[in-house]
Structure 1
Amino acid sequence: MKNEIHHKKMTVINGGHFSDLEGFYEEISQLFMKDEDWKVGTLDGFDDTLYGVETDITWKDYQKSKEDLGLDLTKEFYENKIKQGKPFNVQLIQQKLDELIAGNGQTLFEILIEIIESHKNITLILD
Protein backbone atom coordinates (compact mmCIF):
# COMPACT_ATOMS: atom_id res chain seq x y z
CA MET A 1 0.00 0.00 0.00
CA LYS A 2 1.23 3.44 -0.85
CA ASN A 3 1.90 5.91 1.92
CA GLU A 4 -1.01 8.37 1.77
CA ILE A 5 0.14 10.71 4.53
CA HIS A 6 0.21 14.30 3.32
CA HIS A 7 3.47 15.90 4.36
CA LYS A 8 3.58 19.55 5.26
CA LYS A 9 6.23 21.70 3.73
CA MET A 10 9.49 21.85 5.65
CA THR A 11 11.45 25.06 5.95
CA VAL A 12 14.88 25.29 7.54
CA ILE A 13 16.14 28.45 9.21
CA ASN A 14 19.87 27.93 9.54
CA GLY A 15 21.38 29.76 12.53
CA GLY A 16 24.80 29.23 10.98
CA HIS A 17 23.88 31.61 8.15
CA PHE A 18 23.53 34.74 10.30
CA SER A 19 24.58 36.34 13.55
CA ASP A 20 22.36 39.41 13.81
CA LEU A 21 18.81 40.54 13.09
CA GLU A 22 19.61 41.85 9.61
CA GLY A 23 21.10 38.47 8.75
CA PHE A 24 18.00 36.76 10.12
CA TYR A 25 15.75 38.93 7.94
CA GLU A 26 17.97 38.12 4.96
CA GLU A 27 17.60 34.39 5.68
CA ILE A 28 13.80 34.73 6.00
CA SER A 29 13.60 36.75 2.79
CA GLN A 30 15.50 33.98 0.99
CA LEU A 31 13.16 31.33 2.37
CA PHE A 32 9.76 32.97 2.06
CA MET A 33 10.10 35.93 -0.28
CA LYS A 34 12.08 34.56 -3.22
CA ASP A 35 9.66 35.98 -5.77
CA GLU A 36 8.81 39.21 -3.97
CA ASP A 37 10.39 42.56 -4.65
CA TRP A 38 10.51 43.56 -0.99
CA LYS A 39 12.52 42.08 1.81
CA VAL A 40 11.75 41.53 5.47
CA GLY A 41 13.24 44.34 7.54
CA THR A 42 11.18 44.58 10.73
CA LEU A 43 9.61 42.32 13.33
CA ASP A 44 6.15 43.26 12.04
CA GLY A 45 7.30 42.52 8.52
CA PHE A 46 8.49 39.10 9.65
CA ASP A 47 5.12 38.48 11.29
CA ASP A 48 3.31 39.53 8.08
CA THR A 49 5.48 37.17 6.02
CA LEU A 50 4.17 34.18 7.97
CA TYR A 51 0.46 34.87 7.43
CA GLY A 52 -1.11 32.08 5.40
CA VAL A 53 2.11 30.06 5.47
CA GLU A 54 1.68 26.39 6.27
CA THR A 55 4.97 24.71 7.04
CA ASP A 56 7.12 23.04 9.62
CA ILE A 57 10.06 25.27 10.45
CA THR A 58 13.22 23.67 11.73
CA TRP A 59 15.55 26.22 13.28
CA LYS A 60 18.97 24.59 12.95
CA ASP A 61 21.76 25.81 15.22
CA TYR A 62 19.12 27.59 17.27
CA GLN A 63 21.48 27.69 20.29
CA LYS A 64 23.82 29.90 18.26
CA SER A 65 20.90 32.15 17.29
CA LYS A 66 19.72 32.24 20.88
CA GLU A 67 23.10 33.70 21.83
CA ASP A 68 23.51 35.89 18.74
CA LEU A 69 20.04 37.39 19.17
CA GLY A 70 20.30 37.47 22.93
CA LEU A 71 20.67 40.09 25.60
CA ASP A 72 23.45 42.22 24.11
CA LEU A 73 21.97 42.52 20.64
CA THR A 74 18.49 43.14 22.04
CA LYS A 75 19.81 45.95 24.24
CA GLU A 76 21.50 47.49 21.22
CA PHE A 77 18.29 47.06 19.19
CA TYR A 78 16.27 49.03 21.76
CA GLU A 79 19.01 51.62 22.36
CA ASN A 80 19.18 52.36 18.62
CA LYS A 81 15.43 52.86 18.46
CA ILE A 82 15.56 55.21 21.46
CA LYS A 83 18.39 57.17 19.82
CA GLN A 84 16.39 57.41 16.62
CA GLY A 85 13.30 58.62 18.46
CA LYS A 86 10.38 59.12 16.11
CA PRO A 87 8.52 57.18 14.75
CA PHE A 88 9.27 54.90 17.68
CA ASN A 89 7.43 55.09 20.99
CA VAL A 90 10.50 55.89 23.08
CA GLN A 91 8.74 55.46 26.43
CA LEU A 92 7.49 52.01 25.52
CA ILE A 93 10.90 50.99 24.20
CA GLN A 94 12.64 52.36 27.30
CA GLN A 95 10.26 50.25 29.37
CA LYS A 96 11.12 47.16 27.32
CA LEU A 97 14.82 47.95 27.72
CA ASP A 98 14.43 48.37 31.49
CA GLU A 99 12.59 45.04 31.71
CA LEU A 100 15.31 43.38 29.68
CA ILE A 101 18.07 44.73 31.91
CA ALA A 102 16.11 43.67 35.00
CA GLY A 103 16.01 40.15 33.55
CA ASN A 104 12.26 40.07 32.78
CA GLY A 105 12.24 41.18 29.17
CA GLN A 106 12.30 39.10 26.02
CA THR A 107 15.37 38.86 23.86
CA LEU A 108 15.02 39.22 20.10
CA PHE A 109 15.35 35.45 19.82
CA GLU A 110 12.40 34.97 22.20
CA ILE A 111 10.37 37.59 20.33
CA LEU A 112 11.03 35.81 17.01
CA ILE A 113 10.03 32.46 18.53
CA GLU A 114 6.84 34.01 19.90
CA ILE A 115 5.99 35.46 16.46
CA ILE A 116 6.49 32.07 14.81
CA GLU A 117 4.45 30.27 17.47
CA SER A 118 1.57 32.74 17.12
CA HIS A 119 0.94 31.29 13.65
CA LYS A 120 -1.14 28.17 14.14
CA ASN A 121 -0.28 26.61 10.75
CA ILE A 122 3.39 26.57 11.55
CA THR A 123 5.13 23.96 13.66
CA LEU A 124 8.49 25.08 15.04
CA ILE A 125 11.23 22.56 15.72
CA LEU A 126 14.35 23.79 17.50
CA ASP A 127 17.33 21.77 16.45
Structure 2
Amino acid sequence: MTVDRLSRARLSQCVTGVPPSLGRPILAAGQDALSAANEDAAVGNALHTSIIITGGEALPVLVIDGGNFSDLDGFAREFSSLLCHYAWNGNLDAFNDILRGGFGTPEDGWVFRWINSDLSRAALSHHATIRWLEQILRTCHPSNRASVRARISDAQQGRGPTLFDMLVEIVRAHGAGGEEFEDGVVLELM
Protein backbone atom coordinates (compact mmCIF):
# COMPACT_ATOMS: atom_id res chain seq x y z
CA MET A 1 0.00 0.00 0.00
CA THR A 2 1.12 3.57 -0.61
CA VAL A 3 -0.22 6.97 0.20
CA ASP A 4 -1.07 9.01 -2.85
CA ARG A 5 1.41 11.80 -3.60
CA LEU A 6 -1.08 14.58 -2.98
CA SER A 7 -1.98 13.34 0.52
CA ARG A 8 1.68 12.91 1.39
CA ALA A 9 2.48 16.37 0.06
CA ARG A 10 -0.30 18.01 2.05
CA LEU A 11 0.71 16.22 5.25
CA SER A 12 4.38 17.02 4.82
CA GLN A 13 3.83 20.69 4.08
CA CYS A 14 1.13 21.23 6.71
CA VAL A 15 2.70 19.37 9.60
CA THR A 16 6.26 20.60 9.17
CA GLY A 17 6.17 23.52 6.78
CA VAL A 18 8.78 21.63 4.75
CA PRO A 19 8.06 21.43 1.04
CA PRO A 20 7.07 17.89 0.03
CA SER A 21 10.27 17.41 -1.96
CA LEU A 22 12.27 17.74 1.29
CA GLY A 23 10.04 15.59 3.49
CA ARG A 24 10.75 12.03 4.63
CA PRO A 25 9.85 9.36 2.14
CA ILE A 26 7.06 6.97 2.92
CA LEU A 27 8.28 4.06 5.03
CA ALA A 28 6.95 0.60 4.28
CA ALA A 29 5.65 -1.61 7.08
CA GLY A 30 8.57 -3.26 8.80
CA GLN A 31 11.12 -0.71 7.61
CA ASP A 32 13.40 0.45 10.40
CA ALA A 33 12.22 4.03 10.90
CA LEU A 34 14.89 4.82 13.53
CA SER A 35 17.66 3.85 11.12
CA ALA A 36 16.07 6.02 8.44
CA ALA A 37 15.79 8.88 10.94
CA ASN A 38 19.42 8.48 11.98
CA GLU A 39 20.50 8.50 8.32
CA ASP A 40 18.58 11.75 7.82
CA ALA A 41 20.16 13.31 10.90
CA ALA A 42 23.62 12.26 9.71
CA VAL A 43 23.19 14.05 6.39
CA GLY A 44 21.47 17.07 7.91
CA ASN A 45 17.94 16.53 6.58
CA ALA A 46 14.96 17.87 8.49
CA LEU A 47 13.81 15.13 10.86
CA HIS A 48 10.26 15.86 11.82
CA THR A 49 7.68 14.04 9.77
CA SER A 50 7.31 10.75 8.01
CA ILE A 51 4.46 8.44 7.12
CA ILE A 52 4.38 4.77 8.01
CA ILE A 53 2.08 2.17 6.55
CA THR A 54 0.49 -0.24 9.02
CA GLY A 55 -2.29 -2.63 8.14
CA GLY A 56 -2.97 -0.76 4.91
CA GLU A 57 -3.50 2.58 6.64
CA ALA A 58 -1.08 5.47 6.78
CA LEU A 59 -0.27 7.02 10.14
CA PRO A 60 1.65 10.28 10.20
CA VAL A 61 4.76 10.14 12.37
CA LEU A 62 5.70 13.38 14.10
CA VAL A 63 9.24 13.28 15.47
CA ILE A 64 10.91 15.39 18.12
CA ASP A 65 14.53 15.06 19.20
CA GLY A 66 15.36 15.37 22.89
CA GLY A 67 18.83 16.46 21.84
CA ASN A 68 17.38 19.71 20.46
CA PHE A 69 16.17 21.17 23.76
CA SER A 70 17.04 21.32 27.44
CA ASP A 71 13.94 22.76 29.11
CA LEU A 72 10.15 23.01 28.77
CA ASP A 73 10.37 26.13 26.59
CA GLY A 74 12.66 24.23 24.22
CA PHE A 75 10.28 21.27 24.19
CA ALA A 76 7.45 23.68 23.33
CA ARG A 77 9.47 25.14 20.44
CA GLU A 78 10.44 21.67 19.18
CA PHE A 79 6.86 20.40 19.39
CA SER A 80 5.47 23.59 17.85
CA SER A 81 7.70 23.06 14.82
CA LEU A 82 5.51 20.02 14.05
CA LEU A 83 2.25 21.92 14.09
CA CYS A 84 0.40 23.39 11.15
CA HIS A 85 -0.26 27.12 11.65
CA TYR A 86 -0.19 26.88 15.44
CA ALA A 87 2.40 27.57 18.13
CA TRP A 88 2.17 25.99 21.57
CA ASN A 89 3.42 28.11 24.48
CA GLY A 90 4.18 25.33 26.97
CA ASN A 91 0.90 25.29 28.90
CA LEU A 92 0.19 21.64 29.78
CA ASP A 93 -3.60 22.00 29.53
CA ALA A 94 -3.17 23.41 26.02
CA PHE A 95 -0.80 20.52 25.16
CA ASN A 96 -3.57 18.12 26.13
CA ASP A 97 -5.99 19.98 23.85
CA ILE A 98 -3.53 19.97 20.92
CA LEU A 99 -3.19 16.19 21.11
CA ARG A 100 -6.91 15.84 20.36
CA GLY A 101 -6.26 17.09 16.83
CA GLY A 102 -7.36 20.20 15.01
CA PHE A 103 -4.63 22.46 16.38
CA GLY A 104 -2.05 21.50 13.80
CA THR A 105 -1.84 17.80 14.64
CA PRO A 106 -3.45 15.05 12.58
CA GLU A 107 -7.03 14.34 13.60
CA ASP A 108 -7.24 10.62 12.82
CA GLY A 109 -4.40 9.18 14.85
CA TRP A 110 -0.66 9.61 14.59
CA VAL A 111 2.63 8.44 16.01
CA PHE A 112 4.52 10.78 18.35
CA ARG A 113 8.12 9.60 18.12
CA TRP A 114 10.40 11.14 20.77
CA ILE A 115 13.99 10.27 19.94
CA ASN A 116 16.69 10.85 22.55
CA SER A 117 13.94 10.78 25.15
CA ASP A 118 16.48 9.86 27.85
CA LEU A 119 18.09 13.27 27.33
CA SER A 120 14.65 14.83 27.82
CA ARG A 121 14.03 12.73 30.93
CA ALA A 122 17.22 14.19 32.42
CA ALA A 123 16.52 17.76 31.23
CA LEU A 124 12.89 17.76 32.39
CA SER A 125 13.77 16.30 35.80
CA HIS A 126 12.74 17.37 39.29
CA HIS A 127 15.07 20.41 39.03
CA ALA A 128 13.24 21.63 35.91
CA THR A 129 9.93 20.82 37.57
CA ILE A 130 10.85 23.01 40.55
CA ARG A 131 11.68 25.97 38.27
CA TRP A 132 8.39 25.46 36.38
CA LEU A 133 6.36 25.25 39.60
CA GLU A 134 8.07 28.37 40.96
CA GLN A 135 6.90 30.24 37.84
CA ILE A 136 3.37 28.94 38.40
CA LEU A 137 3.51 30.02 42.05
CA ARG A 138 4.18 33.64 41.00
CA THR A 139 0.99 33.82 38.92
CA CYS A 140 -1.43 31.30 40.36
CA HIS A 141 -4.58 32.15 42.27
CA PRO A 142 -3.93 32.62 46.01
CA SER A 143 -6.16 29.64 46.79
CA ASN A 144 -3.79 27.37 44.80
CA ARG A 145 -0.52 28.53 46.38
CA ALA A 146 -0.44 25.96 49.19
CA SER A 147 -0.89 23.13 46.69
CA VAL A 148 1.86 24.47 44.41
CA ARG A 149 4.20 24.93 47.39
CA ALA A 150 3.57 21.31 48.41
CA ARG A 151 4.42 20.15 44.89
CA ILE A 152 7.63 22.22 44.99
CA SER A 153 8.55 20.64 48.33
CA ASP A 154 7.95 17.15 46.91
CA ALA A 155 10.05 17.91 43.83
CA GLN A 156 12.86 19.26 46.00
CA GLN A 157 12.91 15.87 47.72
CA GLY A 158 12.86 14.01 44.41
CA ARG A 159 9.25 12.92 44.82
CA GLY A 160 6.27 13.31 42.55
CA PRO A 161 6.09 13.49 38.78
CA THR A 162 8.67 15.40 36.77
CA LEU A 163 7.83 17.56 33.77
CA PHE A 164 8.92 14.64 31.60
CA ASP A 165 6.54 12.32 33.46
CA MET A 166 3.68 14.80 33.07
CA LEU A 167 4.23 15.21 29.32
CA VAL A 168 4.40 11.44 28.82
CA GLU A 169 1.26 10.93 30.91
CA ILE A 170 -0.62 13.52 28.84
CA VAL A 171 0.41 11.88 25.57
CA ARG A 172 -0.44 8.38 26.82
CA ALA A 173 -3.93 9.55 27.82
CA HIS A 174 -4.58 10.03 24.07
CA GLY A 175 -3.51 6.52 23.10
CA ALA A 176 -4.54 2.90 23.64
CA GLY A 177 -5.80 2.41 27.19
CA GLY A 178 -5.96 6.15 27.89
CA GLU A 179 -8.99 8.22 28.81
CA GLU A 180 -8.97 9.84 25.36
CA PHE A 181 -7.89 6.74 23.39
CA GLU A 182 -10.12 7.71 20.46
CA ASP A 183 -7.51 10.31 19.47
CA GLY A 184 -5.21 7.45 18.44
CA VAL A 185 -1.89 8.97 19.49
CA VAL A 186 0.88 6.37 19.68
CA LEU A 187 3.86 7.39 21.83
CA GLU A 188 7.27 5.97 20.96
CA LEU A 189 10.06 6.85 23.37
CA MET A 190 13.41 6.13 21.76
Within 5 Å, give how 1:67-78 maps onto structure 2: 67-78=122-133
Partner of 2:56: 5
Q: Supply the RMSD in Å over aligned alpha carbons.
A: 1.9
User: Which of 57-66 and 101-110 deviates more?
Assistant: 101-110
Residue 94 (structure 2) pairs with residue 45 (structure 1) = yes
Partner of 1:22: 73
Which of 122, 128, 140 is residue 86 of structure 1 equivalent to? 140
- Cα displacement string for residues 3-31 of structure 1 (whole angstroms, at most 9, x for unaligned residues): 76113111111111111100111111111
The count of residues paired between Structure 1 and Structure 2 equals 123
Which of 74, 82, 85 is residue 35 of structure 1 equivalent to? 85
Give the counterpart letter for 2:129 in structure 1. Answer: T
| SS in structure 1 of the partner of residue 112 of structure 2 | strand
Give the counterpart letter for 1:31 in structure 2. Answer: L
Q: State the shift of 1:39 in Å.
A: 3.1
Give the counterpart letter for 2:152 in structure 1. Answer: L
- Larger relative contact order (CA 8 Å, sep ≥ 6): 1
**TM-score normalised by the chain length of structure 2:** 0.59
The 8 Å contact of residues 25 and 46 in structure 1, kept in 2 or not, is answered as: no
Which of 164, 170, 188 is residue 109 of structure 1 equivalent to? 164
Instruction: Measure the CA separation in 1 of the matches of 2:61 and 2:93.
Output: 23
**TM-score normalised by the chain length of structure 1:** 0.85
Structure 1 gap ranges (5+): none
Q: State the shift of 1:77 in Å.
A: 1.1
Residue 172 (structure 2) pairs with residue 123 (structure 1) = no
The 8 Å contact of residues 127 and 156 in structure 2, kept in 1 or not, is answered as: no
Which of 108, 112, 125 is residue 57 of structure 1 equivalent to? 112
The structure having more radius of gyration, on CA atoms, is 2
Instruction: Measure the CA separation in 2 of the matches of 1:105 and 1:25.
Output: 22
- Cα displacement string for residues 86-118 of structure 1 (whole angstroms, at most 9, x for unaligned residues): 347211211222222343300000000000001
The 8 Å contact of residues 28 and 40 in structure 1, kept in 2 or not, is answered as: no
Instruction: Measure the CA separation in 2 of the matches of 1:55 and 1:6.
Output: 11
Instruction: Measure the CA separation in 1 of the matches of 2:158 and 2:189.
Output: 23
